[in-house]
Structure 1
Amino acid sequence: MIRTAHWLGYAGLIPFVGLTLGMGLHPLTPVAFVTYSAVILSFLGGIHWGVALSRPEWSSAVRLCLCMLPSLLGWLALLLPMTGTLVLLIGSYLIWWGWDRIQLDQPDYRRLRLHLTAVAVLCHFVWLIQT
């Protein structure tokens, strides 16, 4: 996998970690955290969308609809009270990580997703405990 993808992936953790460390410093911090999380969750569905469009064997209506789930779940999460938001985001990240594991067989991507998902979910748990 391209080295730049690794750097960008890990850099994408900065808002998760930074907002978690800055919890309580500003009234908009919780909103910024869950909004960023929903955007990143949507991005993960977009990865599968791109793969589905580039591989004819993956271009089915069912697969394309599944690619939309992270976006819809992220949006739905933003409509819930904070505890529900965090629980739905945690569950969505874990389920989508599992989906990635069985659908995408690139070892570098799998390893990167494991690291990124672990840190993101850990940050969500910290927020959940503090809520």
Structure 2
Amino acid sequence: MGFENDARLNIELLEELHQQREAGKKVYLATNQEHVRAAYLIEVLGLGRHCDGMYYSAALGSRKPDRAFFEQVAALAGLQSDQLLLVDDTPANVVAARACGWNAIEWRKGSSLSAALTEIEI
């Protein structure tokens, strides 16, 4: 399909997410993708094994950083905004999530989810 060259998984983050899931937390992928690429991420790259589901822009009809994206995800998840955490490498998405009442972490090279979570209580 041609997605191989732009698909790089962060194994350390996946391990930290696995630990969160083992502790009883739900982990979802919230991404700006079209249908074919979303399927590739879940099925071919195997992200379906690492998360409890996916919310993606083509299915929602809105994209991060649009407010509608975050509102739709919160409604579909059945959670209050302050119960949600976005981990994203795009600063505008982090700002938008926070503006919608979400907790949000800007992911950078060398980031640690467990370290960031000590600063946030969800």
- Which structure's residues are more often strand, by fraction? 2
- Which structure's residues are more often helix, by fraction? 1
Length-normalised TM-score, structure 1: 0.24
Larger Rg: 1
Greater relative contact order (Cα 8 A, min sep 6): structure 1 or 2?
1
Length-normalised TM-score, structure 2: 0.25
